[in-house]
Structure 1
Amino acid sequence: MSEQPQAIYLKDYQVPAYLVERTELRFELAEEQTTVIATLQMIRNPDCNQQAPALQLHGHDSMVLQSLQLDGEPLMNYQHSDELLTIAEVPERFSLQIVTLIEPQNNTALEGLYKSDGMFCTQCEAEGFRRITFYPDRPDVMAVFRTTIVADKAKYPVLLSNGNPVERGELDDGRHFVTWDDPFKKPAYLFALVAGDLQHIEERYTTASGREVILQIFAEAKDLNKLQYAMDSLKNAMRWDEQVYGREYDLDIYMIVAVDFFNMGAMENKGLNIFNTSCVLANPETTTDAAFQRVEGVVAHEYFHNWSGNRVTCRDWFQLSLKEGFTVFRDAEFSADMNSRTVKRVEDVTLLRTAQFAEDAGPMAHPVRPESFIEISNFYTLTVYEKGAEVVRMIHTLLGPELFRKGSDLYFERHDGQAVTTDDFVQAMEDASGRDLSQFRRWYSQAGTPRLAVSDSYDEASGRYQLHVKQSCPATPEAERKLPFHIPLAIGLLDGEGNDLPLTDGQTSQVLDLTEAEQTFTFEDIPVRPVPSLLRGFSAPVKLSYPYSREQLVFLIRHDSDGFNRWDAAQTLATELMEALVADYQAGRELQIDSCLVDAFAAVLDDSSLDPAMVAKTLSLPSEAYLAERAEQADVEAIHAVREFLRLVLAKALRERFERVYRANCSDAPYSPDAESIARRSLKNLCLAYLMTLQQQNYLQLALDQYHQADNMSDAQSALVQVVHSGFDEAREQLLGDFYQRWQKETLVVNQWLSVQASNPQPDTLGRVRQLMEHPAFDIRNPNRVRALLAVFCAQNPVNFHAGDGSGYRFLAEQVIRLNELNPQIASRLLTPMTRWRKFDPQRQTLMKGALQQVMDSGELSRDVYEVVSKSLA
């Protein structure tokens, strides 16, 4: 950029000077140039204290302003810059008509109105609407929208927007139009438009109060057979939200559209959700179990936004977690109810510990409610979403389900139709429950991951057991020193036989309120020295340390009644062993493994009473990314070597068990994405992964047989991964060729084909990635392709990305520079692996900083990329 972009601060928030009561839009869609006619009914904001303020409307330099009228008269007295249209004098109440010309077909940023494979579509969150017309594009300006879309009927037979369709007709020149009316006030970021040659499935849903709602899901004709699972998920989500939150849908029609070119996963536009195809299309032949579950979760997430995001929205973008954190918590609870609650919790915590904790420890660390930003697109982060959900979960834990429901009811009733703040959300919870959450609010304003150091003592004579807890939080860019958090610490105590000891009111789990820097909790009448089960269900997003012996960890793996903590004990044991092995590897000592982990894994494999999904999670070793995050200085080569060594040791020691469990979980039953079937496949494929580490022909044949005989993508892709990531080069090339030949016309399956190769830990994967960038299947303008190939290599293949010669870093810098011109959002997100350069050895630090500087010096940077690079180098 010609000038360094300036930060925007929460402390500078001011109410808008003018409000929009009604927005009428007319789109004349065309191939070369689209005309947008916007008529805004505006009034002076009575809450604004400025005297005769100028009217400022946001815009973008890609638009051409064709005409401007104030109350029906041409307006010539205005100032127009790239990003602002300023009118010095306007009445208290007025009508403003703005005519702009835009070129959606050239909009590679995929913000505002753009084209995706010949289809017109929009993405307006956070600030895309300003690429469509000049408008007060901020979430606290809410208006009723009426939208008319005009287009060539032959090319674009389907014309969709927010709300209910109220008029349609034919025009003389082969064009047609549809007018949509949305009776609910909304900010511009929730506006949506789709025009294309689409097919749809349709069903009806009857709400709890008896209203009938039309449900439609649109896609290209070739994908019509992949929409039913999303429809079923939508109906399940509607029913769940009525039962758990008392929330009904409010319009006559609810629509979802599948779009291939999309920067995000999906968008909750009022009544017209626009989805990345990866989050809505699902079919056993083309979709993995994980993708089925993602579809279910994302469909629910966007539907739940109808209340937690649309009916009640954000006052400003600093409050983004108001809607996202709350809705992620809601969709997580829905998924837990639809599937395995413990498995869902394990998956969510794994993401937190590997990626969000890393974000908290990096240069882009920020509170759940940030204090400043340069580009809001950079703050659609794991901190805002996932940690924000954990903050809501902690409120739920502190209040209990009944009071939390009472608080959410009050929040929706009090703020329906308003743009509000995280403080308003917490205040509703306080008012409904009578609990003081003033200290708890620090979770919204303080960045970083708190650390809990726990010790204990036991007096055998009195039966008194005490837990001593110290909390601290490392410095982050916004603050050196942190005040104590209010942390709900869920615990249980186990006797020598593995039974839960009764605690308060006879309960076997108790939530402790940790509010001080140091605190002691006392338990009376404890008959034996217990083994503590700490942070049950991961009751707070913290790092907890307690001096467990290896014997105690094995004890918890076998006996803890809290499923999450059983998994966590296995992870902790494996992590401690692997970190000791890393030290041995670095010192040149022979690698030897303590048999306790083998024995614990054997016991888990032998226990047929356990949920297969939890067995698979328990037997999965901590990832290289997680081990790197824990290390003071990450040694990627040592971590990779140790993890591979341990996988091989376990495979050799437990070979017969892995074979037995593999066979026991094979099934001839027709494919089903239900939780039980997914659990069996996950355990079967974990066993196959261990067996393939033995590099034996019989296990290669087992994988090949599974690939060729599979009736579903989960089994086929799992076998493909194991062969491609093994040393069987000939088999690898044969399977990759066969897979592409079979699925080359299925866009989402080709993405999987790219990702399998990009994540390959074998040498020279970077060379393969470069080759694939020249493949006809790769299109750098398509975010899904970029994520599948480039992001997977840089973020999920640490041993190759962090090659000692810096080739991975230079490659990433090249791609970011190229994408900066095409799609700044995707470019900035790709940079994440290099923002953590301080985590590595001095040589790699120098190489990563050099690559970041290469980006900084490359020319005019977007705000998105400039913010990430400048903060990383600071």
Structure 2
Amino acid sequence: MSKKLAKYRSDYRAPAFTIENVHLNIDLDDHATRVRSQLQLKRQAPGALELDGEHLELITLAVDGVLRSADSYEVTDKQLILTEIPDEFTLDIVTQIDPSANSALEGLYKSGGAFCTQCEAEGFRRITYYLDRPDVLAVFTTTLSADSEHFPFLLSNGNLIDEGKQDNGRHYATWHDPHPKPAYLFALVAGDFDRLEDHYHTLEGRDVRLELFVDKGNLSRANYAMESLKRAMQWDEERFDLAYDLDRYMVVAVEFFNMGAMENKGLNIFNSKYVLADQATATDWDFVHVESVIGHEYFHNWTGNRITCRDWFQLSLKEGLTVFRDQEFSSDLGSRAVHRIDAIRVMRSFQFNEDAGPMAHPIRPDKVIEMNNFYTVTVYNKGAEVIRMLHTLLGEQGFQHGMQLYRQRHDGQAVTCEDFVAAMETANPVDLQQFRRWYSQAGTPQVRIEQRYDAAQGLLTLTFEQMTPATPGQTAKAPVVIPLLFSAYTHAGERLLLTDSAQVNDHESGSQLYVLSDSSATLTFTEVEQEPIIAWLENFSAPVKLQTSVNTEELELLLAHGEQEVTRWEAAQQIYLTCLRQAVTNQQPVQLSASQLRALTKVLKAPIDNALKALIFTLPSAEELLEYYPENAPLDAIERAVKTLAHALANGLQEVFAATFEALESQSEQLSGKAMAARALRQRCLYFLALAKPHDYSPVVAQQALTQGNMTLQQGALEIAVQHQLPCAEQVLAEFAEQWQETPLVMDKWFAVQANARHPETVKRVAQLLDHPKFSLRNPNRVYALLASFSRNSLRFHQEDGSGYKLLQRIITQLNTLNPQVASRLITPFMQWRRFDTRRQSMLKQSLVELQQLADLAPDLDEKITSALQSEETASQ
């Protein structure tokens, strides 16, 4: 297989032709689907017509109704090229494809008894020859034909304009989407489903028909997704003044899908894990994620569909913005602190790691080889943090003014990240020139803050420094704009406002705001009566790493008195991390002081949200701790530290955990925020109690694991039993599997719990599960549940004998040809091989070298492996 050439953002050129209208006629067949495509093209620049196409059999081609002979065009394995053509013409193309053989699940494929598509980023070229790029927007009319008995539902984008019967037991349906769209938003689904119907009335008076299609027998598990969709539609109208624009909105849930979901215009296709949810089979967090993802794909209707990307380098234009919008949706409807903490943990556990690796890239990359590799936490989650910084700087009103101008200027266009920032800049009295560096610079900025106080003069001096480490291709980094939200407190825990600096302003969040824009800066405050304790970077106001001089006693005060809930959680995390890092450095067990235990006891007894308490008692993971060790990571010491911290909490707070556990009712039948919070805290208490007294609490855990009707309690008990290796563990695993063996999404949980286990036998257990009758490499959800979970289990994946490396290497080798997209996602833990000890480095590198030597290495893997194997000096040139 020839290497795929890199594309550069600087080389962008508009296509020689554009496509104004598309008529598709698709006769669906398991192995011989015929696609008849009629394109109305118009020249907009000199040059040949170069259409993209892969894995296609070309049957016929006609220009303005006249068939062309094979010598009048050129066909390669990637393109169809025509030269002698008019400036404006109709092109008719007939191709044939084999959907059943498409194990990559890109383009049109058949799986689980249904036909389905996934066209983002470059999947449409696997359906027919086309200008498969996001800056070509056309009006689509699509006619689908299939066997009426096996495929009673024929769905595509837009509004249904015709349907009827055909000969030989077939039928057809014609769909018209009046809104021009790029090919990546095209979708079709054909199958036999259960359908849930509802309606939504927009504020402007449009009656929208809502339809959710799910596998037979799952209709009752679709109700929450439907209610989530209606809440999302209402929220987008009320907060962003954005209403839906078609007569119907459809969501189809399928089991075999590489991604989480896809925002195809009017026909969203979802991985079933983000649609199907009831309390018997879904955890509380599953419900949260269903609502979030349903909202995310709906919000794309404006931020992604009506206004789309000019090119794929601009991916964060739609994804970063829409992640920010779905985060705000979840926060407005639920606990803002809980959702914010969840976002922070993703950044620190995954995105910071990506920034420190060989594939580090800005949220708007400059170079792309395989576009699927840039659907990353940097583009999505860091992209959302960049949008959030704009919101912090401009405030809600200023941000909404910018959104309105962005929509007015660019509705119906394919645009760039620069267009978005320019709209924000024009709508507000602000210069965002320096802020734009967030779009072009990779890496995580590091901010150091030093505080000096002169009691005699009442003088407070704050010194700031920022720097961003070198990343591949970027050695020199310019300072970026960093909004620092903060709150100051007295030693009695009372709020103290620092007011006599023109550079500090009160912020609508309740914090104060200082904007750091230089490499170094100094703030001076006079008449400060006592040295303040300052909570910096409140609500994680910028995606940076922070170094401050706040000590453990001051963190305890912030834990007890911080006005912002996220500040209290942050104080607890910093206490834990300080203890963990000291234990790693000193090669000693973690020890918690009496004052720390008292402070944490007060948290458990405080009248604050139980969900926040549960998060405060969720300890930093080994993966987060690894971020502090860019080389020679002391894995064994980290494992001991993480383990002994958990034991120190379990033993030190055993009585208060027990009292809290007994006082909280499980409320297993309720799905309110209060009930979910109570379950979350109860689970944390049981986690520590089972750790402190495994034999006493093993029967309690076993009993909870048999709880009928609430998966939060059942899975929670399963996790505790497996993680602590309780006496009941094997029994609980067996009974759980027997109960849920015919429910795929629940079996995914069963596989994942075992892959996440921290004990030494995990590698052997995962290898055995590969042969389990319910495991299949063809099912992305099952692969992610078992293998992706294992790959993120750093302590076991990096087991000293290298068995984890060999296991995952073998699976990636198989997936390389079966499903390259999934294979590419699994390669991630190999990427930072240099940060470990010499022995592990050697084994990780050897695995990468052997994978690189595969004769048919997929471009998805080739790009990542090549980047990982480059020397640091070469990578930074």
Bin the TM-score by the shorter chain: over 0.9
How far apart are residue 710 of structure 1 and its match? Answer: 4.7
Hey, what does 1:227 align to over in structure 2? 222
> In structure 1, what residue type is equivalent to 2:802?
G
Hey, what does 1:293 align to over in structure 2? 288
Hey, what does 1:55 align to over in structure 2? 49
> In structure 2, what residue type is equivalent to 1:349?
I
Hey, what does 2:30 align to over in structure 1? 31
Q: How far apart in 1 are the matches of 2:590 and 2:118?
A: 52
Tell me if 1:762 matches 2:759: yes
Tell me if 1:738 matches 2:735: yes
Tell me if 1:613 matches 2:611: yes
Taking only the aligned residue pairs, the percentage that are identical comes to 47
Hey, what does 1:835 align to over in structure 2? 831
Tell me if 1:480 matches 2:478: no
Q: How far apart in 2 are the matches of 1:316 and 1:195?
A: 30
SS of 2:430's equivalent in the other structure is coil
Q: 1:694 aligns with which of 683, 692, 695?
A: 692
Structure 2, unpaired ranges of 5+: 500-504, 871-877
Tell me if 1:20 matches 2:22: no
Q: How does 1:633-782 map to 2 (within 5 A)?
A: 633-668=632-667, 670-672=669-671, 674-729=672-727, 731-782=728-779
Q: How far apart in 2 are the matches of 1:58 and 1:125?
A: 14
Q: How far apart in 1 are the matches of 2:593 and 2:847?
A: 41
> In structure 2, what residue type is equivalent to 1:753?
W
Q: How far apart in 1 are the matches of 2:592 and 2:287?
A: 37
So what's the TM-score if we normalise by structure 1?
A: 0.97
How far apart are residue 805 of structure 1 and its match? Answer: 1.1
Contact 1:55 / 1:89 at 8 angstroms: preserved in 2? no
Contact 1:367 / 1:383 at 8 angstroms: preserved in 2? yes
Q: 1:350 aligns with which of 345, 361, 366?
A: 345
Q: How far apart in 1 are the matches of 2:118 and 2:209?
A: 23
Hey, what does 1:530 align to over in structure 2? 532
Q: How far apart in 2 are the matches of 1:430 and 1:175?
A: 55
How far apart are residue 531 of structure 1 and its match? Answer: 0.6
Which deviates more, 306-315 or 675-684?
A: 675-684
Q: How far apart in 2 are the matches of 1:656 and 1:64?
A: 70
Hey, what does 1:561 align to over in structure 2? 563
What per-residue deviation string (whole Å, max 9, x for no partner) do you get for residues 255-287 of structure 1? 000010001000000000000001111010000
SS of 2:175's equivalent in the other structure is strand
Hey, what does 2:370 align to over in structure 1? 375
Tell me if 1:800 matches 2:801: no
How far apart are residue 346 of structure 1 and its match? Answer: 0.7
Q: How does 1:35-434 map to 2 (within 5 A)?
A: 35-45=34-44, 48=45, 50=46, 53-60=47-54, 62-76=55-69, 77-434=72-429
How far apart are residue 506 of structure 1 and its match? Answer: 6.9
Q: How far apart in 2 are the matches of 1:523 and 1:369?
A: 39
Q: How far apart in 1 are the matches of 2:589 and 2:856?
A: 52
> In structure 2, what residue type is equivalent to 1:38?
S
> In structure 2, what residue type is equivalent to 1:367?
P
Q: How far apart in 1 are the matches of 2:590 and 2:448?
A: 30
Contact 1:255 / 1:272 at 8 angstroms: preserved in 2? yes
Which deviates more, 385-394 or 458-467?
A: 458-467
What per-residue deviation string (whole Å, max 9, x for no partner) do you get for residues 40-65 of structure 1? 000001xx3x3xx11000000x2100
Contact 1:584 / 1:591 at 8 angstroms: preserved in 2? no
How far apart are residue 17 of structure 1 and its match? Answer: 0.8
Q: 1:582 aligns with which of 584, 596, 606?
A: 584
Hey, what does 2:875 align to over in structure 1? none
Q: How far apart in 2 are the matches of 1:215 and 1:272?
A: 10
Which deviates more, 484-493 or 421-430?
A: 484-493
Q: How far apart in 2 are the matches of 1:288 and 1:338?
A: 18
Contact 2:695 / 2:726 at 8 angstroms: preserved in 1? no
So what's the TM-score if we normalise by structure 2?
A: 0.97
Tell me if 1:847 matches 2:849: no
Q: 2:549 aligns with which of 544, 547, 550?
A: 547
Contact 1:695 / 1:726 at 8 angstroms: preserved in 2? no
Hey, what does 2:465 align to over in structure 1? 470
Structure 1 residues 397 and 590: alpha-carbon distance in aligned structure 2, compared to 1, 3 A threshold: closer
Q: How far apart in 2 are the matches of 1:595 and 1:351?
A: 31
Q: How far apart in 1 are the matches of 2:48 and 2:34?
A: 26
Tell me if 1:598 matches 2:597: yes
Q: How far apart in 2 are the matches of 1:646 and 1:118?
A: 49
Equivalent pairs, count: 860
Contact 1:550 / 1:596 at 8 angstroms: preserved in 2? no
How far apart are residue 27 of structure 1 and its match? Answer: 0.6
Contact 2:458 / 2:526 at 8 angstroms: preserved in 1? yes
How far apart are residue 637 of structure 1 and its match? Answer: 2.0
Which deviates more, 507-516 or 238-247?
A: 507-516
> In structure 2, what residue type is equivalent to 1:845?
Q
> In structure 2, what residue type is equivalent to 1:847?
M
Hey, what does 2:856 align to over in structure 1? 860
Contact 1:503 / 1:509 at 8 angstroms: preserved in 2? no
How far apart are residue 669 of structure 1 and its match? Answer: 6.0
Structure 1 residues 375 and 668: alpha-carbon distance in aligned structure 2, compared to 1, 3 A threshold: closer
> In structure 2, what residue type is equivalent to 1:64?
E
What per-residue deviation string (whole Å, max 9, x for no partner) do you get for residues 125-162 of structure 1? 00000000000000000000000000000010000000
Contact 2:664 / 2:682 at 8 angstroms: preserved in 1? yes
Q: How does 1:783-822 map to 2 (within 5 A)?
A: 783-795=780-792, 797-822=793-818
Which deviates more, 516-525 or 95-104?
A: 516-525
SS of 2:362's equivalent in the other structure is coil
Q: How large is the RMSD of aligned CA atoms in angstroms?
A: 1.3
Q: How far apart in 2 are the matches of 1:167 and 1:526?
A: 75
SS of 2:854's equivalent in the other structure is coil
Q: How far apart in 2 are the matches of 1:131 and 1:434?
A: 47
How far apart are residue 525 of structure 1 and its match? Answer: 3.6
How far apart are residue 481 of structure 1 and its match? Answer: 0.9
Which deviates more, 504-513 or 219-228?
A: 504-513
SS of 2:692's equivalent in the other structure is coil
